[in-house]
Structure 1
Amino acid sequence: MATETVTIHQPKDALAKFTYLEWHDHYRTERPFQALDILHNAVDKREGNVSFKEGGKEVVHDVRGHEQDFTLDKHGFLFANAPTSLSPSDFQDDEKIKEKYLPECETYLKQYFDNVDQVHIIHYRVRCTNSSDPNSPTGPAKVVHVDQSGPHVTERIHKAFPDCADFLLRGHVRLINLWRPINGPIQNWPLAVCDANSLPEENLIETDRIRKAQKGNTRFVIQAPSMKWYYQSKMEDNTLLVFKSYESQDGVAKYASHCSFPLPTAGPMTPPRESIELRAFVFTYPRDEST
């Protein structure tokens, strides 16, 4: 009779130096921005008015063996055992992602949250670290940030749902990220998340990100000494990291800042990290109204 080999990974905290937004007094009078594409007819040719700096060494605590201690509403993130039906090679096929993976994620969100009326996936991206192009836009995120701000969430909802945006915004709105390795176990550039309770909201600086096609924004982070970081060592493909970018209700965690970091054990032969992430609105309609 064949036996199945089960690999047990021991928890291993890590040390990391994260890159943070650097504070400048001009943020008080001029809105922070990055011009990722400079238009030929733009009056302002600057690439931005923000700068970043590397912080000191911080402990990134390994959640392995304690995943159940973390929840979305208390910490802003969780690690879930959530196998997918897709193989690693399937994630190179957009049609398979749309036909199989996105519905899997929608089902997960509807099962995790109570009283969900609608899930709307707004974006997904496959990322790969590539030593020949370390600054690739599909490489790991290397600056601490929260993906969206409240005003931009409102703007996106009005754009996506012009006929019922006001109704949706009167209900419970969450913007949720789901992040998964697709060639685990991760041996370099794992994704770390920060406990929402350890980061004051005033340390989140809303920053416009200007492209030719559109203007978006993100919230970059000014480092706070109180920040507590977490990751899962040797994260496998059957694990899903779920975290908040926006939450409309008070009294619960509203966001989880995040950033990838290199591991000192990685070397030139370490396989590149491959992952898929998506963002989805999770709506609960206002209970005292109807469409």
Structure 2
Amino acid sequence: MAELRLAYSMRAVPTAPWVEAPVNYLADLSIKPVTYNPPPGTGLPRRDGNYRNFTVRIHDARPLVGSLSLDRQAFSLTRHETEVRDFYREEEVRSSYSIEVEALIKRETGASKVVVFDHTLRTADRAVERGLRTPVRSVHNDYTEKSGPQRVRDLLPPDEAEARLAKRFAEYNVWRNIAQEPIEMAPLGLIDAQSIAPRDLAVCDLVYADRVGEIYQGVYNADHQWHYFPAMTRDEAILIKCYDSAKDGRARFSLHSAFDDPSSSANARPRQSIEVRAFAFFD
């Protein structure tokens, strides 16, 4: 953590400890939220629901790095070197990077087993024509009370799945910048899980060509405490807890969204990022 703070101190420090920016929430549940996700490269997602932009204050979380906890805020930032040269090479991500992420999650959580099962590349530059996805500009969480356990059953053999589901397990996303330059456009905003009320999590069907899943969409709550990590570099990673089976008071779900940083320059480089999804199992 000390190295991470030192590295940041050598960069340009933001002129204010926060920015104000609009983020896209569900205003209410008058329309059932549904998101239709086409295959990559075929178009943009389509959403049903009463969505509206709300302006929020998003705090620079770098001064808090040493005190952030996956079990309290549901997100953390860590220094994480990678041997991956080109994140656009599928084979390199599935082999080398998956091993790196597995080791990172074990280190940060103490899990006995980690299963990396999915990744998504995002860019703000010609994403559809390149077969990629765009940054998600809606307040959401990747798994729900129902879809977390279901995804374990989808991934593991039946006997192993039921044995793992009988003990604590959690789903984590590992998010990073994959460009050589620091992120200038569409950074990731994260809500402190301690400020999320149960009513803020609305079940949303996630419709693909071959299956239907579930995520949570965020319902606007003025009490939400927003944070981000300005100018993220390629050697940093955000861990986000999207599901935890434990019901002992620790954070179980989170909410996050890309946002348009008003402090970005007019010619900011398009964001390039990867998020890897993994289950962590505990003995």
Question: Could you tell me the TM-score, scaled by structure 1's length?
Answer: 0.84
Tell me how far apart the structure 2 counterparts of residues 79 and 230 of structure 1 sit (CA, whole Å). Answer: 12
Tell me how far apart the structure 2 counterparts of residues 25 and 142 of structure 1 sit (CA, whole Å). Answer: 21
263-272 vs 184-193, which moves further: 263-272
- Is residue 218 from structure 1 mapped to residue 212 from structure 2 by the alignment? no
Aligned to 2:50: 51
Contact 2:21–2:259 at 8 Å: present in 1 too?
yes
Aligned to 2:41: none
**Structure 1 residue 25: Cα displacement:** 4.0
In structure 2, relative to structure 1, the CA distance for the partners of 1:48 and 1:180 (3 Å cut) is closer
Aligned to 2:239: 242
Aligned to 1:74: 72
- Is residue 113 from structure 1 mapped to residue 118 from structure 2 by the alignment? no
Tell me how far apart the structure 2 counterparts of residues 237 and 85 of structure 1 sit (CA, whole Å). Answer: 11
SS in 1 for 2:63: coil
Aligned to 1:42: none
**Structure 1 residue 18: Cα displacement:** 0.4
**Structure 1 residue 131: Cα displacement:** 6.3
Contact 1:129–1:139 at 8 Å: present in 2 too?
yes
Aligned to 1:176: 172
Tell me how far apart the structure 1 counterparts of residues 123 and 80 of structure 2 sit (CA, whole Å). Answer: 21
Tell me how far apart the structure 2 counterparts of residues 189 and 69 of structure 1 sit (CA, whole Å). Answer: 25
Write the letter of the residue equivalent to 1:103.
I
Question: Of the candidates 160, 163, 171, which is equivalent to residue 164 of structure 1?
Answer: 160
Question: Could you tell me the TM-score, scaled by structure 2's length?
Answer: 0.86
**Structure 1 residue 51: Cα displacement:** 2.7
Question: Of the candidates 11, 22, 29, which is equivalent to residue 27 of structure 2?
Answer: 22
Tell me how far apart the structure 2 counterparts of residues 48 and 231 of structure 1 sit (CA, whole Å). Answer: 25
Question: Of the candidates 62, 65, 88, which is equivalent to residue 64 of structure 1?
Answer: 62
In structure 2, relative to structure 1, the CA distance for the partners of 1:18 and 1:79 (3 Å cut) is same
**Structure 1 residue 86: Cα displacement:** 2.0
Aligned to 1:138: 133
SS in 1 for 2:56: strand
Write the letter of the residue equivalent to 1:54.
N
**Structure 1 residue 128: Cα displacement:** 0.8
Q: Percent identity?
A: 24
**Structure 1 residue 254: Cα displacement:** 1.2
Contact 1:243–1:255 at 8 Å: present in 2 too?
no
| Uncovered stretches (5+) of structure 1, i.e. residues with no partner | 1-5, 38-46, 286-291
Moved over 4 A (4+): 131-134
Contact 1:86–1:101 at 8 Å: present in 2 too?
yes
Aligned to 1:152: 147
SS in 2 for 1:275: strand
Aligned to 1:3: none
SS in 2 for 1:74: coil
Contact 2:19–2:263 at 8 Å: present in 1 too?
no
| Uncovered stretches (5+) of structure 2, i.e. residues with no partner | 1-8, 39-45
**Residue-by-residue CA offset, 1:32-60 (whole Å, 9 max, x unaligned):** 433446xxxxxxxxx765231111x2111
If you compute each CA radius of gyration, which structure gives the higher value, 1 or 2? 1
**Cα RMSD (Å):** 2.2
SS in 2 for 1:102: helix
